[in-house]
Amino acid sequence: MQDVKNTADLEPYAPMIDPFERVINYLRVSVTDRCDFRCTYCMAEHMTFLPRKDLLSLEELDRLCSTFIAKGVKKLRLTGGEPLMRKNIMHLIRELSRHLASGALEELTLTTNGSQLSRFARELKECGVQRINVSIDTLDHDKFQQITRWGKLEQVLNGINAALEAGLHVKLNTVALKNFNEFEIPSMLQWAHARGMDMTLIETMPLGEIDIDRTDQYLPLSKVRQNLQSEFTLTPLNYRTGGPARYYKIAETGGKLGFITPLTHNFCESCNRVRITCTGTLFMCLGQEDAADLREPLRASESNALLSRTIDEAISRKPKGHDFIIDRRDQRPALPRHMSMTGG
């Protein structure tokens, strides 16, 4: 096996700038498409996952991430599926943490469902991870099992507590779902802020074939915000974490609440992100099908020159924005691939 550190830790390249003059400095990498939950808005209950042989090795993921860091990526988020289900994932995180130590990378973080945090929270902190996002849509045990199909709320709550005890800053990601958790959002917000956790609400995204009609789930966040304003004082903030959320200060709790609105308010004008799947496919936009294969140039040469050129060519095609829509007239998703394939 080639020495990843020698081939990937190169002199910096020119910054990645897309056709709309946006600097690309945020990379999200799905390390696995597998998950131990089957959330109803994300995937079908009986999923067919990729053969393990099709996944990039941990060494290849390291080399790929390191090349992007050399090309100007400052924030790296590991996603899934559930990233902590990837075998030996902490080896990859420990290797990537060298870029935090060198100053080349400003933040290494991940999005998780929390099921494995009791095992890994302390080690994540030791590797330089400072904050994580935990996806959780309800604090009701029965509803949690209903929405995740296979999940146990107690396991996730224990994981969140372990993360907080380890000194990780935790932000909760909650998908707003009509007739499911819309009336629970105020109490979840208060629960999160009382424990020092910020919270972000997300509109359901029309990705992948699932077992139910997404129009029955879709809850516009404009309505949620209006309802919250009858109970709380929301003040817009300039605060940004590098992602698409627009944040508000909640006067009554002292915490922050973010809104991610791919449908009611397109957030693409300031997009600084690209995504890579666990098979090495680069998506320049979550909501478009155009993609670039990075696995072939990654494996074609021990030099990163071809890989870098392939990345540059792909960035030159990054679109202005996505075309998400949820409409009863067309029951098919905007795109056939599941969110777990691209990474949350």
Would you list which residues are annotated within the binding site?
28, 35, 39, 41-42, 77, 81, 111, 135, 171, 205, 268, 271, 273-275, 285
Residues for the chain: how many in total?
A: 344
Single-letter code of the amino acid located at 45:
E
- DSSP category for residue 90: H
Nearest in space to 77 (alpha carbons), one of 132, 28, 4, 150: 28
Distance CA 18, CA 138 (A): 38
Nearest in space to 292 (alpha carbons), one of 315, 274, 307, 314: 314
Radius of gyration of the chain (CA): 19
Residues in binding site for S-adenosyl-L-methionine: 41, 81, 135, 205
Residues in binding site for [4Fe-4S] cluster: 35, 39, 42, 268, 271, 285
Nearest in space to 334 (alpha carbons), one of 243, 202, 214: 214
* H helical segments located in the chain: 4-8, 58-70, 89-96, 98-102, 117-126, 141-148, 153-165, 185-194, 221-228, 295-300, 305-315, 339-342
Residues in binding site for GTP: 28, 77, 111, 171, 273-275
Exposure class string for 264-292: b at 16+ Cβ within 10 A, else e? eebbbeebbbbbbbbebbbbbbbbbeebb
One-letter-per-residue 3-state SS of 223-245: HHHHHHCCCCCEEECCCCCCCCC
For tokens 């849509």, the residue is 137
